[in-house]
Chain A
């Protein structure tokens, strides 16, 4: 079955770079049509889409965060990495990664990882 798990620091200082890793199993990012996306949710607030990467390395980013985000994949490790530069307290959120189905739906989600930005 498909599983995903996010990992990374729980506490980050402002202006630092945040690196989050999504480790998955049950599918391969070398399979045509497959993708992984990142979504975040500030405490008590709505979901916000961040970025995605497809099997062919096609990448898409949230326009409002594009200058700060980079998404990459390591197919040998079954991982997708999201980096966010110049972190700010407003970036405090639970960060989720999710498998993207063939019709663009986020059909499997990780449990999420809470990242707090504070000095």
Chain B
């Protein structure tokens, strides 16, 4: 049972926009920055979004993040087949005094 709650799966067709949610609480998402990671099959995770809505260099602007209260979202527009991966949100938890990850969302491009 992950501290941050994500839908286990999401899907879309090429070109569509998909949104993945991440629900937490006041001690994590509500008071700290949220980061998003993309994990392609068999690969290490890759930082996709940091500080709620910032993209590292090299990440396409099709990927965007937002946060409101104790929930965060990752949006992928112009969906492409190479976006098929697992996506994880993460944040620091002040109560646990450690980092917490969501359970991950498996994105399928139909």
B103 partner residues in chain A, CB cutoff 8 A:
46
Cα distance, A63 to B104, chains bound together (Å): 20
Query: Total A-B pairs in contact (CB under 8 Å)?
Result: 65
Q: Is A62 part of the binding interface, using a Cβ–Cβ cutoff of 8 Å?
A: yes
Q: Which of A63, A101, A108 contacts B96 (CB 8 A)?
A: A63
A49, B100: Cβ atoms under 8 Å?
yes
B67 at the interface (CB under 8 A from A): no
A52 to B96, CA, bound (A): 13
Does B101 lie within 8 Å of A48, measured CB to CB?
Answer: yes
Asked if B44 and A96 sit within 8 Å, CB to CB, the answer is: yes
Q: Complex Cα distance A49/B45, Å?
A: 13
- Chain A residues with CB under 8 Å of B98's CB are 49, 51-52, 60-63
Min C-beta distance of B14 to chain A, whole Å: 27
| Nearest chain A residue, comparing its CB with the CB of B3 | A49
Shortest distance between the CB of A89 and any CB in chain B (Å) = 20
Number of interface residues of B (CB under 8 A): 25
Interface of chain B, helix or strand or loop or mixed? strand
- B47 part of interface (Cβ distance < 8 Å): yes
B88 in the interface, Cβ–Cβ < 8 Å?
yes
B68 sits at the interface (CB 8 A)? no
Q: Which of B60-109 contact A (CB under 8 A)?
A: 88, 90, 92, 96-104
A111, B43: Cα distance in complex, Å = 7
For A85-119 the 0/1 string (1 means CB < 8 A from B) is 00000000000100001011111111110000000
Q: With A47-B45, A109-B45 in contact, do A52 and B99 touch (Cβ < 8 Å)?
A: yes
Binding site for B on A (CB under 8 A): 37, 39, 46-49, 51-52, 60-63, 96, 101, 103-112
8 other A-B residue contacts (CB within 8 Å) besides A63-B98, A112-B44 = A46-B103, A47-B45, A52-B98, A104-B35, A104-B92, A104-B99, A106-B90, A110-B44
